[in-house]
Amino acid sequence: MRITLVPLVALLLLWTLPGWSGLAVDAPGSGEYADQWRPDPMHEYWDPATYHRPETGRMAGIFTGDDCLTCHASITPGIVQDWQASRHAKLEKPVLCPACHGNDHQKLTFPTPQTCGGCHPKPLAQMEEEKKWGFPSHALAMERAVDARHFADKPPAETLSCLQCHSVATKCDSCHTRHRFDPAEARRPEACLPCHDGPPHPDEATYLASAHGQRYQKEGAGMDWTRPLGKGQYPIPSCAYCHLRNGIHQVADKSIWGFGIREINPRTAENQIKRKRWIEICADCHPPDWSAAQLSGLDNERKEAWKVLYGVERLLKELRSEGLLRPTAQERPPYPLDPLARWWPRERIGFFEGGASAFYHVGAIERHYFELWYFDNPGAYKAQAHGATALSRHAHEGMASQAQAIAEEGERLRLLGKKGQAVDLKPLWMEGEYTRFNRENHERNKEKP
């Protein structure tokens, strides 16, 4: 009789009692610029340790796992079915709902990595260890977002979009979908590619264009993804096979060139160790000498890329010193989250142009350089790193075309200067629909309700 009545009573209570749950209406932002942005209700799911607030006012009481399953089989049957198909349900002593959510319905919680680490301490420790390698890493992804000025200055819809992927640091179900948590799902490229796609990390396009990706698209459906990520287990390497070798939850310990947007000395002692790790992985299928040659090819690709990037950067600095780049720092609106810029406006060319987000207040020639550096350049790097050499060559052709266009625009600006004609001021996004929307919503986002 209990099996019949519990769901019925639960449904009646859910419909008749008021509820207070989820994100607090006055919840502040998080990170270094916490007072400059406001979270969307979905942030409760992206960062549960920071934003989840237990439900109150609806169901009350202390329940066993069997109680939860009986009730939710009617309310959320899909969740129950996923759990029933999971390894948690098949253990001699099943891992029931209270183990992850608690048993007090007034204090239910969303699991965090620390929650999972209670039973899986080794994977959690491996992921936490990523922090010692710095960026880029999964463990620091949330911090990377909320500590960035250009994140805090975005409209709410954009901050929400950013954290959907950056939440890989704050919840395990970014890779292991709830409530099944099947490792076979996390081993497939589809677990990684939704976030690792598009500039400045075009991993999906470059992997799928490689020989590995081409084979995966033809044969991946027939592969046995229940096998562990060890040598000889898979005929085709996936993202996880190479970046999470042997199932180790550690993706930052082999990063030689980062995202390809900062020049790094590839011959440091640290990078020599990382190179050996990559050769060991590639040697599962390829001769070690061949694998080492591929890394040398990547080094050469980076050298060629930085020749182009530095050449354009030198041109822009020359044009800036000649007073031919506009808007000048004094003509730009001060960056909202840079108080120093109000008193000491300055231009920055190169990597720091992106780091300071000054590219939102630049002329067309500088914006082209930003796209060359931050979009085309990573595309060339990622393609070479994933073995899509034809795509890398195509990206380098795009870089050369962009550099040529910038050089021609530089000649035009210099000709105007020699003639004594005013350099036309055509800044991007100084005004316009996006700029107004951003400015208005930035201010509204900071207002207290």
Read off the pLDDT of residues 208-223 as tens digits, 9 standing for 90 and up: 999 999 999 999 999 9
For residues 398-402, give the mean pLDDT.
93
Confidence class of residue 303 from pLDDT cuts 50, 70 and 90?
very high
For residues 360-366, give the mean pLDDT.
74
Residue 9's pLDDT is what? 42
- Name which residue leads in pLDDT, 333 or 15: 333
Residue 442's pLDDT is what? 53
For residues 96-117, give the mean pLDDT.
94
H/E element, 181:
none
63 CB contacts (<8 Å, ≥6 apart)? 71, 98, 103, 105
Separation between Cα atoms, residue 23 and residue 106, nearest integer Å: 15
Structure tokens at 268: 């440091």
Say whether pLDDT at 115 is over 60: yes
Separation between Cα atoms, residue 164 and residue 274, nearest integer Å: 29
Residue 191's pLDDT is what? 94
Locate the domains of the chain by residue range. 288-446
Confidence class of residue 54 from pLDDT cuts 50, 70 and 90?
confident
Confidence class of residue 2 from pLDDT cuts 50, 70 and 90?
very low
Q: Which of 102-111, 293-302, 419-428 has the lowest mean pLDDT?
A: 419-428
For residues 82-90, give the mean pLDDT.
96
In angstroms and rounded to an integer, the radius of gyration of the C-alpha atoms of the chain is: 26
For residues 122-134, give the mean pLDDT.
92
Residue 441's pLDDT is what? 58
- Note the Cα 118 to chain centre separation in Å: 26
Main-chain phi, psi angles of 416, to 5 degrees: -60, -40
CB-CB contact of 356 with 348 (8 Å): yes
Separation between Cα atoms, residue 194 and residue 50, nearest integer Å: 24
Distances (CA, A) of 325 to 58, 116, 347, 415, 421: 61, 53, 10, 13, 13
For residues 99-117, give the mean pLDDT.
94
Residue 437's pLDDT is what? 60
- Name which residue leads in pLDDT, 124 or 27: 124
407 CB contacts (<8 Å, ≥6 apart)? 312, 315
Say whether pLDDT at 11 is over 50: no
pTM over 0.95: no
For residues 159-179, give the mean pLDDT.
91
Confidence class of residue 16 from pLDDT cuts 50, 70 and 90?
very low
Share of the chain above pLDDT 70, in %: 84
Residue 237's pLDDT is what? 93
CB-CB contact of 378 with 200 (8 Å): yes
Say whether pLDDT at 431 is over 60: no
- Name which residue leads in pLDDT, 4 or 109: 109
Share of the chain above pLDDT 90, in %: 55
